[in-house]
């Protein structure tokens, strides 16, 4: 069984490299650029690095980075926050079904698709141009085990049959200059996620620490899940991890990360991401004003929530 899986992964990696061959042959510079709403979706090649960004039409100097791939190692997750999203495997190491809201360049789906040949992944993203960029420039191939719906991430989850459950749910969705949509940050949304989870399932959410309502979003997440952990990346991203399965202590999280690292031989260190995790009372120590934060609800977005978005 192990040999079969390794053979499949070898063949799959060869297929990814074949899909990226034309990108490898392109000269440095912009290799993809299409209008999408108030942005241009652009893909820029700089030697072996491919960067997928959003550039605002009103300010062509903006560069809202979405995804990065290293052509020399397409299975390496360059950004540490994307590495941290893989920590969901600590709670569910053999997921049968995964849902991801937000697709971007498809880096996390591509890597999960490679290492989990029996897993079905469903994704949702509102931007068809972004999906086009991912399939053209990032080696992503959609099929029976990896699908993307052109749809709001919450709406997609709401419309799924009540008997469908996901072992891992991820949200990595941002609007404008980097603020997560209110509809994907409320108690009602996380209750929906909880309802769609399998018994040992886990939810992971990517947030920006500079978000004015960062503490409120963490507090809201805590109001739904019995165990909440946070993996921090510098002063930039935080990955929230929530589950209602029995709580894991820090040493158990690191032990499981080591087991996964040994089994999958990731090109990045999942152990380091496990060591980054903060649990329990540590959250109040690293998140300013968490104790004073209010829980976010669908019908009452806080004043100023939408003021910082760039449209």
277-296 pLDDT, tens digit each: 999 889 999 999 999 999 99
Report the pLDDT value the prediction gives residue 8, as an integer from 0 to 100.
Answer: 82
Query: What is the 8-class DSSP label of residue 61?
Result: E
In this prediction, residues 304-308 reach a mean pLDDT of 70
Q: Domain of 197: which CATH number?
A: 3.40.50.150
**Which residues are CB-neighbours of 253 under 8 A, at least 6 positions away?**
87, 90, 229, 274, 277, 279
Query: What is the 8-class DSSP label of residue 245?
Result: S
Q: Determine, yes or no, domain membership for 1.
A: no
Q: Predicted confidence band at 311 (pLDDT cuts at 50, 70, 90)?
A: very low
Q: Determine, yes or no, domain membership for 249.
A: yes
- Kindly give the residue spans of alpha helices, DSSP state H, lying in the chain: 2-19, 21-24, 80-85, 88-91, 107-115, 128-137, 153-159, 187-196, 214-222, 250-264, 270-276, 282-286
Q: Determine, yes or no, domain membership for 57.
A: no
In this prediction, residues 287-311 reach a mean pLDDT of 82
Q: Determine, yes or no, domain membership for 32.
A: no
**From CA 279, how far away is CA 295, in angstroms rounded?**
20
Q: Determine, yes or no, domain membership for 27.
A: no
Strands 146-150 and 120-125: parallel
**Which residues are CB-neighbours of 75 under 8 A, at least 6 positions away?**
13, 16, 110, 111, 114, 267
Report the pLDDT value the prediction gives residue 117, as an integer from 0 to 100.
Answer: 93
Report the pLDDT value the prediction gives residue 310, as an integer from 0 to 100.
Answer: 41
Which one is predicted more confidently, 2 or 166?
A: 166
> Which residue range forms the structural domain that includes residue 125?
73-292
Query: For the chain, how many structural domains are there in total?
Result: 1
Q: Determine, yes or no, domain membership for 11.
A: no
Q: Which residues pair with 97 in a beta bridge?
A: 120
Q: Determine, yes or no, domain membership for 3.
A: no
Q: Predicted confidence band at 178 (pLDDT cuts at 50, 70, 90)?
A: low
In this prediction, residues 104-110 reach a mean pLDDT of 95
Supply the mean pLDDT for the chain.
Answer: 92
Task: Give the rounded percent of residues in the chain with a pLDDT score beyond 70.
Answer: 95
In this prediction, residues 215-228 reach a mean pLDDT of 96
Q: Are residues 237 and 81 in contact, defined by beta-carbon separation less than 8 angstroms?
A: yes
In this prediction, residues 97-122 reach a mean pLDDT of 96
């Amino acid at each position: 069984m192990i040999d079969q899986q390794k053979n499949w992964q070898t063949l799959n990696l060869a297929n990814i490299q074949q899909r990226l061959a034309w990108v490898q042959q392109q000269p440095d510079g912009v290799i993809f650029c299409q209008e999408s709403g108030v942005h241009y979706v652009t893909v820029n090649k700089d030697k072996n690095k491919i960067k997928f960004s959003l550039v605002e039409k009103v300010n062509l100097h903006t560069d809202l980075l979405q995804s990065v791939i290293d052509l020399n190692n397409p299975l390496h997750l360059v950004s540490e926050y994307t590495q941290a999203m893989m920590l969901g495997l600590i709670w569910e190491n053999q997921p049968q079904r995964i849902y991801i809201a937000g697709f971007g360049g498809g880096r996390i789906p591509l890597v999960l698709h490679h290492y989990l040949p029996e897993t079905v992944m469903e994704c949702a993203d509102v931007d068809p141009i972004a999906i086009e960029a991912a399939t053209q420039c990032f080696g992503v191939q959609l099929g029976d085990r990896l699908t993307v719906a052109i749809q709001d991430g919450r709406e997609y989850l709401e419309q799924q049959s009540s008997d469908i459950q996901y072992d891992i749910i991820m949200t990595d969705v941002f609007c404008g200059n980097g603020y997560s949509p209110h509809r994907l940050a409320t108690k009602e949304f996380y209750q929906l996620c909880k309802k769609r989870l399998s018994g040992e399932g886990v939810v992971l959410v990517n947030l920006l620490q500079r978000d004015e309502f960062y503490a409120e979003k963490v507090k809201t997440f805590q109001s739904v899940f019995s165990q909440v952990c946070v993996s921090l990346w510098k002063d930039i991203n935080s990955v929230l991890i929530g589950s209602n399965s029995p709580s894991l202590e820090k040493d158990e999280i690191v032990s499981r990360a080591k087991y996964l690292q040994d089994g999958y031989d990731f090109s990045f260190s999942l152990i380091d991401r496990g060591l980054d995790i903060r649990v329990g009372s540590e959250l109040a120590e690293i998140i300013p004003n968490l104790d004073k934060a209010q829980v976010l609800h669908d019908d009452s977005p806080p004043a100023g929530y939408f003021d910082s978005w760039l449209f």
